[in-house]
Amino acid sequence: MTGKTHAAFGILLGTAYALNTTHDIGTSAVIIGTTGVFSILPDICHSGSKVGKEFKLLSRLINFFFGHRTITHSLLFMAVIAVVMTLINIDFTYIICAMIGIASHILLDMMTPRGVALFFPIDFKITTPITFKTGGVLDLSLATTFSVLTAYLIYTEMFHRTVDWIHL
């Protein structure tokens, strides 16, 4: 998947989570942003990715030692991130956002022919029964669909809040 598709899916899931857990716009924005950022984080193992370009040395080191779609696309990575966030006393809501973001990334990459090493360090790639090419028409269509769905969620929430306000 492309970074756009990963980000769009993470933002969609973050929006859905925010709308179902809080009515505070500031908290909602942080939830959506956190989920969006963590939805692209697993590609730090690829120096050509958005996050890989920002952290070139770390990206190259991870890729050199582990390869692409291995450790950063695994349940182990999710556990390590959750433990680190817990140890530095991050609010549980944002740990959930990070897990949603990473899980969304892994799920989408499982839909590609290369799959992911979900159970790293076991060297076995997991894919979904139906796969499609990264950067292909379906990939780009998903990015657009996720963005439209996010806009729809925000629109309907704003509509319901306006109706509730009018009925006061």
Domain limits for position 43: 3-166
Share of the chain above pLDDT 70, in %: 95
3-class SS of residue 84: helix
Structure confidence by residue, pLDDT tens digits, 99-129:
999 999 999 999 999 999 999 999 899 999 9
The number of distinct structural domains making up the chain is 1
Which residues pair with residue 116 across a beta bridge? 126
**Measured CA distances, 129 to 25, 70, 113, 133 (Å):** 39, 20, 10, 14
Is residue 163 pLDDT above 60, yes or no?
Answer: no
Is residue 168 pLDDT above 60, yes or no?
Answer: no
Q: At 90, is the pLDDT very low, low, confident or very high (cuts 50, 70, 90)?
A: very high
pLDDT in the model for residue 162: 58
Q: Which of 40, 14, 26 is nearest to 150 (CA)?
A: 14
Task: Judge whether 110 and 11 are in contact, CB under 8 Å.
Answer: no
